Amino acid sequence: MRKCILITGAGSGFGRDAALALAANGHDVIAAVHHPAQVAEVQDAAAARGHPVRVEKLDLLSEDDRQAAFDWDIDVLVNNAAIGEGGPIAEIPLELVRRVFDVNVFATLALTQGIVRRMVQRGRGRIIFVSSIAGLTAGAYLGAYAASKHALEAIAESMANELAPYGIQVATLNPGPYGTGFNDQMVRSRDRWYDPARNFTRPEHMAALDERFEKQFDPARLVRAMVELAQSEAGLYRNVHPQESERLVRERQRDAWTRTQSTPAGDQGM
């Protein structure tokens, strides 16, 4: 069935490639991008593939941009836009944590609340929250990002139960570490404020963050999963990819019940 699918954060990475793939599959795609310059970039990429995509500038933090989106007739909303900050949660500046929550949680929820009203009026719709394995288990030096994704998990699960009587489906997509550049940027973000001469976290301990993303998976694998989830009529509520990450999450959640306070959780590879 042909659907109108809105994907946020479609200026790059998963969102961009999924938008192009869904358009190629015959869907009406609205690729929402953060920067005005990305509009022409995504339009050109779509034109090169022979499958035009409607590209809209949508800054999640802009109330005007969100209000404009509320008038769009959306069948599937893919909440893909997100930002991340790396560094020790015991020392990271709070304004950076707030910004992560503003984008990943509050602005995402604000957009969803506005769009879901029209879905309820039609009696159908699908909402996909692109979370992370960091939304299911948190590792060292990724606390700010993981906390925002944990919050998103709670929102998604509550919303799934609340909207089911109105014919609205809700699902989560939980990627592991894929090589889109997002993880590498999150690692480098701590360099803006971290100073070993001032902060108590030692550089040798911080090395765990640098090592965590030495191995990353091919993003094309996750794009295929996102496309399938967006265009399907049914499926699982939680979708963790790849399988290696799903096994890791299951193990970490099981071990959390027996881990002592003095035992580090170890590296998660997220």
Q: In angstroms, what CA-CA distances link 209 with 41, 201, 212, 221, 226?
A: 32, 12, 5, 24, 27
What DSSP state is assigned to residue 114?
A: H
User: Of the residues 145, 178, 194, 237, which is catalytic?
Assistant: 145
Q: What is the spatial distance between Cα 222 and Cα 219, in angstroms, rounded to a whole number?
A: 5
141: annotated active-site residue: no
Residue 115: both structure tokens together:
């769009």
Coil, strand or helix: which one is 16? helix
Q: In angstroms, what CA-CA distances link 148 with 85, 104, 108, 133, 176?
A: 11, 6, 11, 12, 16
Contacts of 227 (CB under 8 A, 6+ apart): 18, 21, 22, 25
Q: Is residue 148 within 8 Å of 104, Cβ to Cβ? A: yes
Give the DSSP H/E element, type plus range, for residue 28: strand 28-33
Residues recognised as catalytic: 145
